[in-house]
Amino acid sequence: MAPSAARRRRSAFAAGLATMAMALGFAAVPAEAAPPPKADYVALGDSYAAGQGAAPYTDRTCFVSRKGYPAIANNLRDIRLTANAGCSGQVTADVIADAQATVDSGTEIVTVTVGGNDLGTTNVLLSCLPAPTPDCAGALATVQTKLTDGSLASSLAGVVAAIRSKSLTAKIVFTGYPRLFAPDHAFAAVANPLADGLNGVIAGVALQTGSQFVDVAPAFATHGIGSAEPWINFSAAGVLDPANFHPNGEGYRHGYYASLVSQRAFALN
């Protein structure tokens, strides 16, 4: 058979199949719609934003972990983590500088976990636990002063202003801190009221600035140090262990990330 005749027969066969498909009512399969674009997300804050306590770390200077809540959100939500500036030891002044460097007009969500280091809570934990030292009373008094004199609230408001100077429309989400100890633990009376006071200041600033406050304390309520399933690391034999007083992987996933999701922190509408 001549090649040209064969090509004509194949073309006729293909045309016949197309005609048959149309006659039977087969519709063309539509192309899949493109997935919606991911929201650009920046995480700011201290060691709790970095993921300290949930080793291994991708950055041992800042104790940044893939098990921290920003990394979990990046993997599981419709967001794109453009920067995780969380770093161990950060205070509000550091976060203000980070906001200037990482937030831009395209940023749609910013989470902030900061305030504990501004108060000097680490000094309280080291001087009061596991047994009070002569410095314990002074450390507690310093924290109480900073909680009530307006200095922390002013610093947190400065974080919002820094973010707003880079993006007028980004959703700003402050997270709180968990109570560290189970209610019946010997150290609960010292540490837990500090978390309550700190959360109160953060929540107040969030309300005043049109930001969102995500309360993580309820999620950790039965998972403090001394509970059957603690989500907070603590070794009395090694108080200086960098993991101490920080969430473990379960705490970041089921405490922080779950609270952010349940309170719609990543929702833009």
CA distance 138 to 64: 31
- For residue 31, the Cα-to-chain-centroid distance in whole angstroms is 36
Summarised one tens digit per residue, pLDDT across range 130-148 is 778 888 888 888 888 999 9
Geometric angle at alpha carbon 56, from 50 and 62, rounded to 5°: 35
Alpha-carbon dihedral sign for residues 182, 183, 188, 193: positive
Tally the residues of the chain: 269
Query: Sorting pLDDT into bands at 50, 70 and 90, what band is 128?
Result: confident
pLDDT for the residue 79: 95
pTM of the model: 0.84
Q: What is the pLDDT of residues 19-63, one digit of tens each?
A: 444 444 444 455 566 667 899 999 999 999 999 999 999 999 999
Q: What distances in angstroms separate CA 25 from CA 20, 21, 246, 265, one per listed residue?
A: 9, 6, 63, 47
* Beta carbons of 191 and 182 less than 8 angstroms apart: no
Main-chain dihedrals φ then ψ at residue 47, nearest 5 degrees: -60, -30
The CB density around residue 237, as the number of other CB atoms within 10 Å, is: 6
Task: Output the pLDDT for position 260.
Answer: 98
pLDDT digits (tens, 9 = 90+) for 210-269: 999 999 999 999 999 999 999 999 987 777 789 999 999 999 999 999 999 999 999 998
Q: What is the DSSP string of 91-143?
A: -HHHHHHHHHHH--TT--EEEEE--HHHHTHHHHHHHHSSS--TTHHHHHHHH
Class (C level, CATH) for 37-262:
alpha beta
Q: Please tell me the predicted confidence (pLDDT) of residue 32.
A: 62
pLDDT at 33: 62
Beta bridge partners of 165: none
Please state, rounded to an integer, the average pLDDT across all residues of the chain.
88
By annotation, the residues acting in catalysis are 47, 246
